[in-house]
């Protein structure tokens, strides 16, 4: 639809975003003194460290845990490594890491050199690591100029067999059928693992492990298909959970194209420690930005377990905060794909009008963002025929309100991870709607005193009210009080809190090491 058809009050939008900014700034102030084990592991991965030791433990975990036990992680891994390299020569960082792992060298016992000297080495190491990520970004840009993306809304599907080789076959099928973006769903509860598994994997529960080797395998298959159909097909994965910074790094190294990234999701639905995951998220978004990888956020989850009619405003609240958090991490609006969903009770009279209202509201609040629109799941049953029709209504709203990333619903949503032909039926449905509704959004206006505008305004005003409350008490208190999804999460509880480390005065800020170097 034309921008501004909802006739929202511009001043109220600016006000709402200023509240979001305050909340985000407060979060950044609170997390500033800390680093995490996962950030330090990600820094090692940026330096090129990979692989597992003889016990099957990833080197990055083994090394960071060793240093943490000696209480020296407060200096940051880059400080310790750079200090070591001032004194000793190693053929590669990987070799140094393997020696630390085998206790051939104890880098915590080396006398510290002059901080400026250490910083010089650190800058060089980081620059070398980051330049690989920047090259991947350029490689993507080149490929997209050669094989342009499809038309919006981008059709986005998921594959989740648990076996990377089967995933490869199904990814290929989906891409040829017309998918613009494909995600490999992660194995159930990978977000709770405090390490990234290694290698090509064939056994996952409800999905496939996110590993560097799996990323590489699927991206290669999609590169072949992209070349063949002359359209660049994007690969999506999930940078969430306890290894958020590492996964973001691996995604950048392996040229993934879009990452689901949302601390709030982990806090509410995976009981991750709020502080830990906010610190991790800041770093992750910074890395993804360097790698030219936009994020999509998980607000859709907020209305999957509670009633969307009553709680849709929490989606808007979270989006406004998330946008500011991403901006604070250096992202621009085009890189911030805020999420939401079509989740109203199908028995609700005029529910379709409310869905239009909500989707258009998001579109107008964030006109430059690649909004991610998620299909119905909550009220789906084994009636696959009705389910297919619900997805059709969802597809209509996606096109009518110009959503950008359209995750396609599956008729078997309530039953199993998608079968290869479920995906076919779903892509066919979406293509049919997209083609038939082409240009409809341009011709469409909304009645000024009608149901749609009234619903949009109501939701927005409720969100502003909540933002006012949260900005006065701060997000951590709001989480403790259960403001989102009816779930209470105290600041110093939840998984991963033991991986939060206070930095000391020697700590070299990753952000400074990069900014000063001007890539």
Partner 1 sequence: MKEREKFVRPYGDTPDDGIIQISFTIPLPLPFSREVAKRVIKEMGLFEENIVYEKDIYSDFSFFIIYAKFNKSIDISKIKINEEEIKIPDFFEIEKIIEEKIGKKIKIIACTLGSDAHTVGLDAIINAKGYNGDNGLERYKGFEILNLGAQVPHEYLIKKIEEFKPNVVLISQTVTQKNIHLKNLTLLTEMLEAENLRDKILLICGGYKITPELAHELGYDMGFGANTYPSQVAFYIVNEIIKRNLINKWS
Binding site for partner 1 (CB under 8 A): 169-170, 172-173, 176-177, 188-189, 192, 205, 268-271, 301, 304-305, 377-378, 380, 413-415, 419-421, 424, 485-487, 495
Shortest Å distance, C-beta 301 to partner 1: 7
Structural tokens at position 291: 């790698």
Which one of the listed residues 101, 180, 257, 300 is annotated catalytic?
300
CA-only gyration radius of the chain, Å: 23
Choose between 444 and 497: whose C-beta lies nearer to partner 1. 497
Choose between 98 and 167: whose C-beta lies nearer to partner 1. 167
CA distance linking residue 38 with residue 45, whole number of Å = 10
Let me know if 265 is a catalytic residue: yes
Shortest Å distance, C-beta 234 to partner 1: 18
Shortest Å distance, C-beta 342 to partner 1: 15
Residue with tokens 């973001």: 248
Whether the upstream peptide bond of residue 419 has omega within 30° of 0, thus cis, is no
Choose between 291 and 496: whose C-beta lies nearer to partner 1. 496
Which one of the listed residues 195, 209, 265, 354 is annotated catalytic?
265
Which one of the listed residues 75, 372, 434, 466 is annotated catalytic?
372
Let me know if 431 is a catalytic residue: no
Structural tokens at position 261: 């990234």
Helix (H) or strand (E) holding 154: strand 154-159
Choose between 421 and 438: whose C-beta lies nearer to partner 1. 421
Residue with tokens 């990323």: 215
Choose between 50 and 173: whose C-beta lies nearer to partner 1. 173
Residue with tokens 């480390």: 501
Bridge partners, 183 (sequence order)? 158, 236
Q: Are 21 and 268 contacting, i.e. CB atoms less than 8 angstroms apart?
A: no
Bridge partners, 235 (sequence order)? 182
Shortest Å distance, C-beta 413 to partner 1: 8
For 230-251, give one letter per residue: b (16+ CB within 10 A) or e. ebbbbbbbbbbbbbbbbbbbbb
Residue with tokens 């240009």: 439
CA distance linking residue 187 with residue 302, whole number of Å = 21
Helix (H) or strand (E) holding 504: none
Let me know if 379 is a catalytic residue: no
Choose between 269 and 312: whose C-beta lies nearer to partner 1. 269
Shortest Å distance, C-beta 178 to partner 1: 10
Shortest Å distance, C-beta 374 to partner 1: 13
Supply the residues annotated as catalytic. Answer: 265, 300, 372
């Amino acid at each position: 639809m034309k921008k501004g058809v909802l006739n929202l009050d511009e001043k109220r939008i600016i006000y709402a975003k200023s509240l979001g900014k305050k909340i985000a700034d407060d979060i950044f102030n609170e997390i500033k003194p800390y680093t995490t084990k996962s950030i330090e592991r990600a820094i090692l991965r940026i330096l090129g460290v990979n692989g597992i030791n003889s016990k099957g433990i990833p080197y990055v975990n083994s090394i960071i845990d060793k240093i943490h036990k000696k209480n020296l992680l407060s200096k940051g891994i880059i400080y310790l490594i750079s200090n070591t390299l001032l004194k000793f020569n190693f053929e590669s960082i990987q070799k140094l890491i393997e020696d630390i792992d085998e206790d051939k060298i104890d880098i915590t016992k080396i006398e510290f050199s002059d901080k400026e000297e250490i910083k010089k080495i650190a800058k060089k190491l980081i620059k070398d690591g980051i330049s690989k990520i920047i090259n991947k970004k350029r490689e993507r840009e080149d490929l997209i100029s050669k094989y342009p993306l499809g038309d919006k809304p981008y059709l986005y599907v998921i594959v989740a067999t648990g076996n990377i080789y089967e995933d490869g076959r199904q990814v290929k099928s989906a891409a040829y059928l017309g998918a613009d973006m494909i995600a490999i769903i992660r194995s159930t509860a990978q977000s709770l693992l405090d390490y990234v598994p290694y290698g090509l994997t064939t056994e996952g529960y409800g999905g496939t492990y996110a590993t560097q080797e799996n990323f590489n395998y699927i991206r290669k298959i999609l590169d072949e298909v992209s070349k063949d159909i002359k359209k660049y097909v994007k690969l999506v994965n999930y940078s969430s959970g306890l290894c958020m910074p590492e996964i973001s790094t691996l995604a950048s190294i392996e040229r993934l194209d879009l990452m689901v990234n949302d601390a709030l999701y982990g806090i509410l639905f995976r009981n991750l420690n709020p502080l830990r995951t906010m610190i991790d998220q800041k770093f992750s978004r910074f890395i993804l930005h360097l790698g030219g990888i936009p994020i999509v956020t998980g607000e859709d989850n907020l209305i999957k377990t509670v009633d969307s009619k009553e709680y849709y405003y929490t989606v808007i609240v979270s989006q406004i905060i998330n946008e500011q958090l991403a901006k604070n991490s250096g992202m621009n609006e085009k890189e911030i794909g805020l999420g939401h969903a079509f989740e109203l009770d199908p028995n609700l009279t005029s529910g379709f009008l409310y869905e239009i209202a909500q989707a258009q509201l998001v579109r107008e609040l964030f006109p430059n963002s690649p909004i991610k629109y998620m299909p119905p799941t909550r009220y789906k049953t084994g009636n696959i025929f009705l389910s297919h029709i619900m997805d059709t209504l969802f597809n209509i709203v996606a096109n009518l309100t110009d959503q950008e990333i359209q995750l396609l619903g599956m008729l078997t949503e309530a039953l199993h991870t998608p079968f290869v032909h479920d995906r076919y039926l779903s892509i066919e449905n979406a293509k049919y709607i997209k083609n038939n509704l082409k240009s409809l959004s341009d011709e469409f206006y909304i009645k000024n005193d009608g149901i749609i505008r009234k619903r949009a305004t109501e939701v927005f005003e409720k969100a502003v009210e909540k933002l006012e409350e949260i900005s006065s008490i701060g997000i951590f208190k709001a989480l403790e009080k259960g403001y989102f999804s009816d779930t209470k999460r105290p600041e110093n509880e939840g998984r991963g809190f033991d991986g939060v480390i206070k930095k000391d005065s020697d700590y070299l800020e990753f952000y400074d090491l990069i900014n000063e170097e001007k890539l």
